[in-house]
């Protein structure tokens, strides 16, 4: 039988959760609006056409040879919307270097349309990161702390800028944080399911940024050092399995 006090407490919990969800949606909308404003007011930056050229070449030729200074995942995601149009629609003309290690690229027929299509992908990735930040903060602390974290996220100039351009830094931030969260969850629940999630997250991080390998090694070391129960053969086996899954993810990209 439910008492009046228990009913009141349940009502307060539901009300708090509803308010937190509404505030989260409002801050996510605020972040999106600022990203859209930034996209509409900024011309293509120096490196955005390079990422687009490399991504389209990877989609069309099934290879990754042009400007391979970054892993392919980010560039493949950024250029995926361009596949909906004619394969020959977007033309890029390299006008050569225009200074120390700089070059100019002419884009036809619609550089503004290309910017909107490719930059929108990063806005979506930014919203994924915002959601991951909110859920992680709520799980670790409280709904109020999650709302505060999301408010800081939504008003961060660095995050707004990086998730409004067709570059790979936003994806690197998302995959790095996702890998950290996956390892944290594994340390409290070292199941095989969580092990597979760690492997996928680490693989995505490796496929997003060439600076990832040292952090991936650190993550695997934390799995081994912080494994619960002291069952070292099982812990090492799961860390090895996560590494293998990560390699498979990299190989498939």
11 in a structural domain: no
**pLDDT 10s digits, 3-12:** 544 444 344 4
Q: Is 15 a residue whose pLDDT tops 70?
A: no
At 10 the pLDDT is: 40
pTM for the full predicted model: 0.86
177 touches 153 (CB < 8 A)? no
Number of domains in the chain: 1
Q: Is 10 within the bounds of a domain?
A: no
The pLDDT value recorded for residue 98 is 58
43: left (phi over 0), alpha (psi -120 to 50) or beta: beta
Residue 134 within any structural domain of the chain: yes
Arithmetic mean of pLDDT, 84-113:
70
pLDDT at 12: 41
Mean pLDDT of 186-208: 95
The DSSP element (H or E) to which 93 belongs, if any, is strand 91-97
Asked whether residue 30 is domain-assigned, the answer is: yes
The answer to whether residue 6 sits within a structural domain is no
The residue with greater pLDDT, 58 or 1, is 58
The residues, ordered by sequence, that sit 6+ positions from 88 with a Cβ below 8 Å of its Cβ are: none
**Residue 225: band (very low, low, confident or very high) from pLDDT cuts 50, 70, 90:** confident
In a domain, 20, yes or no: yes
> What's the domain range around 181?
16-252
Q: How much is the average pLDDT of 105-128?
A: 90
The yes-or-no verdict on residue 229 having pLDDT over 90 is: no
In angstroms, rounded to a whole number, what is the distance separating the alpha carbons of residues 26 and 75?
30
- Domain membership of residue 87 (yes or no) is yes
50 phi/psi in degrees, rounded to 5? -65, -45
- Partners of 115 in the β-ladder: none
The answer to whether position 69 is within a domain reads: yes
């Amino acid at each position: 039988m439910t008492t009046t006090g228990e009913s009141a407490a349940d009502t307060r919990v539901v009300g708090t959760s509803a308010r937190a969800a509404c505030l989260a949606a409002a801050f996510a909308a605020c972040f999106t609006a600022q990203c859209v404003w930034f996209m509409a007011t900024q011309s293509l930056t120096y490196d955005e056409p390079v990422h687009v050229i490399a991504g389209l070449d990877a989609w069309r030729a099934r290879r990754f040879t042009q400007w391979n200074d970054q892993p392919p995942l980010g560039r493949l995601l950024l250029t995926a919307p361009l596949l909906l149009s004619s394969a020959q629609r977007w033309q890029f003309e390299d006008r050569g270097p225009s200074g120390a290690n700089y070059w100019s690229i002419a884009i036809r027929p619609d550089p503004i349309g290309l910017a909107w299509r490719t930059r929108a992908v990063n806005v979506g990735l930014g919203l994924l990161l915002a959601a991951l930040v909110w859920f992680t903060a709520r799980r670790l602390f409280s709904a109020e702390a999650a709302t505060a974290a999301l408010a800081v996220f939504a008003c961060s100039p660095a995050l707004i800028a990086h998730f409004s351009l067709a570059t790979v830094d936003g994806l690197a931030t998302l995959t790095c944080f996702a890998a950290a969260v996956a390892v944290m969850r594994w340390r409290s629940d070292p199941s095989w399911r969580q092990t597979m999630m760690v492997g996928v997250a680490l693989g995505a991080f490796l496929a997003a940024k060439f600076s990832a390998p040292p952090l991936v090694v650190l993550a695997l070391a934390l799995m081994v050092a912080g494994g619960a129960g002291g069952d070292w053969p099982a812990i090492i086996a799961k860390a090895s399995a996560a590494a293998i899954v990560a390699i498979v993810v990299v190989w498939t990209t």
